[in-house]
Amino acid sequence: MADNIASLNADSSEDVSSADRRPFSNISALNHLTEDQLQAFGAKLDAIGKQAMESRGPADERYIRLLITIQRSLEVVGRAVIYFGILYFPLFFVGAAMLGVSKILENMEIGHNVMHGQWDWLGDKKIHSSRWEWDSVCPSKQWQRSHNYLHHKWTNVVGMDRDFGYHVLRLSEKQAWKPVYLFQPISNIMMALLFQWGVAIHDDELGGVRTGEKTAKEVRPKLIKLLKKMARQVGKDYVLFPLLAGPFFLPVLLANVAANLMRNIWAYAVIFCGHFPDGVEEFEPQDVEGEDKPRWYVRQILGSANISGGKFMHIMSGHLSLQIEHHLFPRVPSNYYPEIAAQVQPLCAEYGIRYNINSLPFQLWSVWRKVFYFSLPPRAPKGPVASPL
């Protein structure tokens, strides 16, 4: 198979009739594949996903239960250490770091993946996508609709995937430039610092009020739920726990702010590096017309990127360092992604499909470069100046 594909790439005279090939309407990444090859690629990915789902068992259950225990223990101990900072000031920093790590684990490896339904098979109502409420200002049900359905179905389809730029950043020439984008380097920094808040107000129905697609009355129930969740989170982190410290309210408050900043910045870095670095492709609505499963697979691969790293990186990122595998199999338990990646990457090489992986610093640098580049007005195309006559 690899030899056949290589020969197609090397010899442009190789004749593959249009009847044997049905690529995306204007995406060149599939032009070297015949229809049979594309379907075979999809079948092999189906088999990889099926094998992972059929392999779930007691070891996986122990993994998620142990992780939840560790995360909750870190939160309790971290908050206690913050209070001990009243006696020894440096402990404020230690406690804030522990609390920040616990929030990262809860948000990414636990909450994000539980809400994808990765652990519904356990039959435990406490670890189920329909009941889990995470430690974030965004209500879980609201996030599940905008993320699980809209983003994962329409990954990187400009105008359909609301997570592409979050309606705040211009990250592609396919997005029309507006003067407000001149300020997107600042918007980008604010998004990193306030990431959970950005996710919370990003809901498609709330945004519909601004565009006129929804009325205020229609979105009022959802807005009330959002404001209640925000009030609970603010009350917990910035009122209740600091008040328990009495006259040391301010240091405890700042420790809680620091923990949330840790979580926000880390989540921003991981998620942006998985979706927007160099090499990640964007698509247009016409590109997904008549899209079948193999073509959906390819779009997920081309529209995602991985971060290289070891087990610690994968767990702390919610295994979103393996964003490609997550987009291919969002309901497969995340602890399977390293094993799946070891099969998907060589499969992509076999079929000549780009597989984007690089270090965190490189991916993040390339994201920031795009943020600055696309903040500026589009450049005029280079070439000879047309004669006015």
C-alpha angle 157/159/162, rounded to 5°? 85
- Side-chain half-sphere of 18: how many Cα atoms within 13 Å? 2
Q: For the purposes of burial, counting CB atoms within 10 Å of the CB of 49, is it exposed (0-12), middle (13-18) or buried (19 or more)?
A: middle
21-25: list long-range contacts, CB under 8 Å, 24+ apart: 24/283, 24/287, 24/291, 24/295, 24/299, 25/286, 25/287, 25/289
DSSP class of 88: S
Q: How far is CA 364 from CA 76, 264, 305, 344, in A?
A: 32, 15, 11, 23
The residue type found at 351 is Y
What does the alpha-carbon distance between residue 139 and residue 133 come to, in Å, rounded to a whole number?
A: 7
Q: Tell me: the pLDDT tens digits for 190-203?
A: 999 999 998 888 76
More confident residue, 140 or 208: 140
pLDDT exceeds cutoff 60 at 12: no
Choice among 65-79, 120-134, 156-170, 263-277 with the minimum mean pLDDT = 156-170
Q: Tell me: the pLDDT tens digits for 262-313?
A: 999 999 999 999 999 999 998 888 888 888 999 999 999 999 999 999 999 9
Q: Tell me: the pLDDT tens digits for 105-117?
A: 999 999 999 999 9
Of all residues in the chain, the percent with pLDDT exceeding 90 is 69
- Side-chain half-sphere of 195: how many Cα atoms within 13 Å? 21
What does the alpha-carbon distance between residue 265 and residue 261 come to, in Å, rounded to a whole number?
A: 6
Q: For the purposes of burial, counting CB atoms within 10 Å of the CB of 368, is it exposed (0-12), middle (13-18) or buried (19 or more)?
A: middle
Q: Tokens for 171, please give them.
A: 């990250």
DSSP class of 161: -
| Averaged pLDDT for residues 58-77 | 98
pLDDT exceeds cutoff 90 at 181: yes
pTM: 0.88
Using DSSP's 3-state secondary structure scheme, residue 307 falls into strand
Smallest CA-to-CA distance from 204 within 133, 154, 243, 256 is with 154
Smallest CA-to-CA distance from 151 within 291, 9, 330, 333 is with 330
Q: Where are the beta strands (DSSP E) in the chain?
A: 306-307, 357-358
Choice among 13-17, 155-159, 224-228, 271-275 with the minimum mean pLDDT = 13-17
Domain ranges of the chain: 2-6+29-56+139-373
Give the pLDDT confidence score for residue 316 in this predicted structure: 97
358 φ, ψ (degrees, to nearest 5): -160, 180
What does the alpha-carbon distance between residue 200 and residue 198 come to, in Å, rounded to a whole number?
A: 5
What does the alpha-carbon distance between residue 211 and residue 206 come to, in Å, rounded to a whole number?
A: 10
CB atoms under 10 Å from CB of 283, counted, come to 26
Q: Tokens for 253, please give them.
A: 């408050």
What does the alpha-carbon distance between residue 32 and residue 276 come to, in Å, rounded to a whole number?
A: 25
Contact by Cβ (8 Å): 252, 240: no
pLDDT exceeds cutoff 70 at 147: yes
| Averaged pLDDT for residues 344-355 | 96
Tallying the residues shown for the chain, one arrives at 389
Using DSSP's 3-state secondary structure scheme, residue 157 falls into strand
Smallest CA-to-CA distance from 287 within 171, 160, 177, 169 is with 160
Which residue, chain included where needed, has tokens 């107000």? 201
Give the pLDDT confidence score for residue 138 in this predicted structure: 92
- Side-chain half-sphere of 147: how many Cα atoms within 13 Å? 21
CB atoms under 10 Å from CB of 130, counted, come to 11
Q: Tokens for 88, please give them.
A: 């020894």
